[in-house]
Structure 1
């Protein structure tokens, strides 16, 4: 296995983080005791863990969501970072949560199994710092905190249940390099399994040589995601009326955010989407024989191109969606719920352009950790001396 899987950087990166931010990031999870997006990253599951090429310090970011368990381990580069190991598995932790209010035993077992793989990968590296987060499923479940304690007992991983504001901020930090600097900003949306964050986002160039910093003008977190919407409305057979019902359920949650943004020129804004929904739309639009992150991340789609793909997905029977290499059987019952959430955002902000991001929370965590440690400032200093 080649473990140097991909680079993440921005060529405009040139704001040093505050001392408070650095202290906050350094203090997280120092007590850790522990010794995937289907094919968007090269992953190695189970059994024998990869042997590190060297002992260079790395940073780890883990995101346990309602649908997925995802890990990135990366090392800093001149203006970003290079991923040296990655893992992603669909665990559906939030399965049945909308009806019971609890995390189910089978779902928790699936998540723990995935987290054991993550613990092995983290333990195989020289980790300078880490942040391991859990989001909506653990936030809203009555037994969410109990599950977090179980995870630490069985895997050694101390997960942090983050609030919605933190989730929005991390998504923004991860996606900011893809905001068009010539625009008036972007409306970023992160469609998760149990919640969706929508952020009015701008960017500012940094002075430490690293990626640009996020400027959040307004944000909202909606307690609806692909899993919750699909469980409520169905995801296997979805009629156009079902689709409209999904859109209409989500739309009222955006009213306050639209007012916060106020009068705006959609021709000067663009949409920026980070989720399996938008990467799937891009993959289908490109007719990829298999999902390829290098062709999807950062690609631009016009409003009409998005509409055509969504119509195409609506016309597909479930079996055809499941057979599509950019969807797969594990996402075939969720993709139209995600498209409905996207459609709601598009109607609120009818921008001409959508940029697709195959990046998000984990990349935001890595940027915050590395910036707090001053890695780009140190590298810039070394270059000039």
Structure 2
């Protein structure tokens, strides 16, 4: 069982060559951070080292656990679902202990928020794994997702210029939409999508500039798991009508939220884009690229058009469940969920039309890591110590 280390523990990483790691100041410790996100569908872990004001991602883990399976109908987490989640959490605890993480944020989201036995499950997790999960609010979830996608909201690398962005975090049990007003800065010289993507990845956890904050946000109680359960795919029927029914359900929730209307002019004139963070959206991107095996380095930060999304969605509908299982970027775990994710994206694109979509294989975990550093810097400033601004170096 994992046991949290004392606050005074520090860990030094083994020496590496100058080519593989920035020079470390003599006597400066290497801190290991861990961010864990237990969602309705996935259990995700990211472990990073922090030295000389730089993050380096040393390990990442993700497993589909479907914790919210059946929750829509029963109101409780099911025993089999909890067992799957616990199995994944035990792996996470072992990885955290092996890496010697001394600063940890472990959170649970929608499934544990709404389940009648959600708090009981959190207590069971601590008993059986030693991990202390905190159930965060939808507002904090939205803010952390935006923080984690901050490098994709840097308009210096975006052409044509953008003045607003809509960050959509599609989960298993909820979808957070966050409207961000972007600074009025000149766009960078024209660059290829690949160059812009590489720049965003290199700056994935950079906090040298103020991190973006949502101007407006909403959390909808609709995610890929509960939407797919409410709208089971017809085996012999009109799949177009089925897909449209899902889109209509989501669209009604999006349009009911009128606060962001002040930003609509930016969408109307092409000065806005959507940042989509979700397994379903990254799967769409993988299919669009024709990947034979999912490759995060090619997907994260990728620009797609609405037309690209619609072509992939049409292909998914034509493939059917069996065909989707054979797709390398979907497989059995997402075959019954990916079209629910596509429906959520389509509903948002109809309500807030814009030509550009930026795919994010990042979000809450990265936001958790950055939030820990911000908290650490605030404590240092209160003590009168120097402020260090972390940059990012990805393994």
**TM-score of the two chains, using structure 1 as the length reference:** 0.81
- What do residues 288-346 of structure 1 show as CA deviations (whole Å, max 9, x unaligned)? 01000000000100111111111111111211101100001100000001111001000
Q: Which runs of 4+ in 1 moved over 4 A?
A: 52-55, 77-80, 235-238
CA contact (8 A) 2:31 2:51 kept: no
Aligned CA-pair RMSD: 2.5
Distance 1:146 1:276 in 2: 28
> 2:265 corresponds to which residue?
264
* Residues 211-230 of structure 1 aligned to structure 2 (within 5 Å): 212-230=210-228
SS in 2 for 1:305: helix
> 1:315 corresponds to which residue?
318
CA contact (8 A) 1:138 1:161 kept: yes
> 1:291 corresponds to which residue?
294
- Report the alpha carbon displacement of residue 145 of structure 1 after superposing the two structures with TM: 0.3
- Report the alpha carbon displacement of residue 58 of structure 1 after superposing the two structures with TM: 1.0
- Report the alpha carbon displacement of residue 33 of structure 1 after superposing the two structures with TM: 3.1
Distance 1:380 1:259 in 2: 34
Which residue, 168, 172, 179 being the options, matches 2:153? 179
> 1:139 corresponds to which residue?
113
1:188 and 2:167 correspond:
yes
Over 3 Å counting, the alpha-carbon distance change for 1:77 and 1:305 in structure 2 is farther
Structure 1: runs of 5 or more not aligned: 1-31, 36-51
Distance 2:338 2:108 in 1: 22
> 1:129 corresponds to which residue?
103
- Report the alpha carbon displacement of residue 76 of structure 1 after superposing the two structures with TM: 3.1
1:163 and 2:142 correspond:
no
> 2:278 corresponds to which residue?
275
SS in 2 for 1:81: strand
Q: Which has the larger radius of gyration?
A: 2
Which residue, 32, 37, 40 being the options, matches 1:63? 37
Distance 1:130 1:197 in 2: 24
* Residues 245-256 of structure 1 aligned to structure 2 (within 5 Å): 245-256=245-256
